Structure 1
């Protein structure tokens, strides 16, 4: 398994939504659809993430990882 860079939570309410970024530029998202359908996992490419979600990820990103995560997301 690739080395993890960081995990970033973008949950806005009581449903979980967390992105994990890895050294090889893979992105894992673990999220809850609703209380009975939780901890769903999907592997994403940067172009599959909406601009609105990218905004939330960068906003919640720890400062020491921000530049690296912006590069992975191809964030302006």
Structure 2
């Protein structure tokens, strides 16, 4: 199993949206499509994440992981 760096939530209202970053630069997204479809999981590439969501991820990222997460996301 990969070593997890951190989990970052960018949830809005009642819908969950969380990104999990791993040491091997992989990103897992766990999200709710709607109130009836929760905890969907998908592996995503940085290019699949919108600039708006990248901004939210960096804003919510713990300071000690920010530099590493920015490198994984190729941000800005």
In 2, Cα distance between the equivalents of 1:6 and 1:72?
A: 12
Partner of 2:30: 30
Partner of 1:5: 5
In 2, Cα distance between the equivalents of 1:56 and 1:12?
A: 11
Matched, 1:46 2:16: no
Deviation at 1:50, TM superposition (A): 0.6
Query: What's the TM-score once normalised by structure 1's chain length?
Result: 0.97
> Secondary structure at 1:25's aligned position in 2?
coil
Aligned length: 76
Deviation at 1:12, TM superposition (A): 1.6
Partner of 1:18: 18
Long gaps (5+) in structure 1: none
Deviating runs (4+, > 4 A) in structure 1? none
State the Cα RMSD in Å.
Answer: 0.5
Matched, 1:55 2:55: yes
Long gaps (5+) in structure 2: none
